Amino acid sequence: MNQIAARIASWPRPEIANGTIEALKWLALVLMIGDHINKYLLNDTVAWLYDAGRLTMPLFVFVLAYNLARPGALESGAYRRTMIRLAVFGALASPAFLALGGLVNGWWPLNILFTLFVLTATLRLLEMGRPQGYLAAGLAFALGGSLVEFWWPALAFGVAIWIYTKQPSVPALILAFVSCAALGYINGNQWALASILILLVAPFVALPCPRLRWFFYAFYPAHLTLIWLARIPLRQAGYLFFT
C-alpha cells in the first residue's frame, strides 16, 4: 500500500487541454438543461433525463476546482474574480429559482452557483496555507455546505479534485470517490459516479472548443428565467399539474 501511495504521489499534475475543459462545461450545460426541463416542465416524468442530470454538478465542480488549482491562480486574482461572478449571477438566478419552487420553506437550499461560491471561498482559504486559513476554510465548508445545493458532498468533491490536481495522492482520490458516491443520498441513485469515467478519459482527449468567458455564468439565470416564463402559460393552459 505504501508503494502504491508513493507511486501515485510521484505522478505529474493532471493536464487537460483547455478545449477539453470547455467541452466538459458544454456537456454539463446540456445535461443541466435536460434535467431542468424534466424537473420544472415535465414533472420529473422522464427518468433518463433525471439520471443524466446527476452528472452535471460533478462536471461543473471539477472544472472549477481544476482551474483554481492551476499555478498562479491566487496571484492572478482568479479566486476573487470567480467569487464575485458567482455571487452576482447566483443572485440574479435567485428570483426564478425561488419562483420555480420545490424548495424547503420557499428558499432552501440556495442555487448551484452559491455551491460553487462556497467551494471557491473554501479553496481560497485553504490556499492561504496557515492555521487560521484552515480553520476559516473548515467553517466556510461546514456552514456553507448546510445552505447550498448538494450540500457537503459537492464541496468535498471539489476540495478533493483541487488537492489532487495540485499534488496527486491516495487520500485525495479516496475523498473524490467517496464524496461523489455520497451524492447518492441526495440524488437517490449513483449516476453521479458516471462523471468520474468521463473525467478519467478527459486528459487523453484534446478537443478544439473555444472559451466563452461570461457565457456560462449568464446562461444559468437566463435559462431558469425562460423556463419559469414558459411554465406560466403551460400551467394556465392545464398542461402542468403542480401541487
| pLDDT greater than 70 at residue 126 | yes
- Structure confidence at residue 243 as a pLDDT band (50, 70, 90): very low
Average pLDDT of the segment spanning 122-149: 96
240 in Cβ contact with 234 (< 8 Å) = yes
Phi/psi at 113 (5° precision): -65, -30
pLDDT at residue number 213: 85
124 in Cβ contact with 73 (< 8 Å) = no
Q: What angle do CA 19, 17, 48 make, to 5 degrees?
A: 65
pLDDT over 70, % of the chain: 91
Burial of 71 (0-12, 13-18, 19+ CB in 10 A): exposed
